[in-house]
Amino acid sequence: MFKKFNFKDDVASQSQVKSSVQRAIRTKLLEQYPNLESVIEEILPKKAHVVLVKCHEHINLLMLNNEILFFQRFDGPYYPTLRLVHKYPTLFPRVQVDRGAIKFILSGANIMAPGLTSAGAKMEEDLPVDSIAAVYAEGKEHALSIGLLKMSTENIRQINKGIAVDNVHHLGDALWTCAQLTIGFAYMMQVTVQQSAAWGAADVYTKCCQYSFQSDQLHQPLLPSGPNA
């Protein structure tokens, strides 16, 4: 969704969300992600000044305090940003790919069924088709993608071929870069597909996660860099 997205050209308008609309958004988010109930007031306070950014291609971004929290296309489901998932990693559905899939996901490729059924991969939750899930990778602590399941986890195991998950948002894409720029990390503007390839999958994963956690001053251990990370 954000591979060719350009915020300078593709943002059409932005406006503060009315309180009635904000209540409806909170309700929809809790319907989609019931685990958010304990932290919804922290993520999206009732009296907060939430901003709706409307973009071309019918993409909407929900922002609070200059941070993009969720996005949607048309009137579809809300996707969390990776930055939000990194802050609340246990509250969203998840799947795990094997280590070999990392470089392809970071280049924007969709996730094939064998990448979720091979050794090192995990699908511990029974998720229906069209579920939104955070995508993790073997040996990595933090999510590297947000995806939309094209088939249920049961069918992924049984069929074991074809596209299993659409790669909607991943580390290093335009949405990730924008999320960092809003808090002053202009360096992340340089994270492109070409540089991702030059760094290698492990290094771009490490650098993106480092900037995500430094921006929030969470002081959590950073991942080691290098091709064997």
| Three-class secondary structure assignment of the chain | CCCCCCHHHHEEEEEECCHHHHHHHHHHHHHHCHHHHHCHHHHCCCCCCCEEEEEHHHEEEEEECCEEEEEEECCCCCEECHHHHHHCCCCCCEEEECHHHHHHHHCCCCEECHHHHCCCCECCCCCCCCCEEEEEECCCCCCCEEEEECCCHHHHHHHCCCEEEEEEEECCCHHHHHHHHCCCCHHHHHCCHHHHHHHCHHHHHHHHHHHHHHHHCCCCCCCCCCCCC
| Residues forming a β-bridge with 61 | 53, 71
- Binned at pLDDT 50, 70 and 90, residue 194 comes out as very low
Q: What is the pLDDT of residue 132?
A: 98
CA 131 to CA 77: how far, in whole Å?
A: 9
pLDDT of residue 226: 37
* Residue with more model confidence, 228 or 117: 117
Residue 223 has pLDDT above 70, yes or no: no
Looking at residue 221, what is its pLDDT? 30
pLDDT, tens digit (0-9, with 9 covering 90-100), for 23-66:
999 999 999 999 999 999 999 998 889 999 998 888 999 999 88
**What are the tens digits of pLDDT across the range 167-184?**
999 999 988 887 544 433
The mean per-residue pLDDT over the stretch 209-221 comes to 41
* pLDDT at res. 217: 34
pLDDT at residue 5 above 90?
A: no
Mind listing the pLDDT tens digit for each residue in 64-110? 988 999 999 988 999 999 999 999 999 999 999 999 999 999 999 99
State yes or no: pLDDT of 195 exceeds 90. no
Residue 209 has pLDDT above 60, yes or no: no
Q: Is the pLDDT of residue 147 over 90?
A: yes
pLDDT (tens digit, 9 = 90+) per residue, 134-146? 999 999 999 999 9
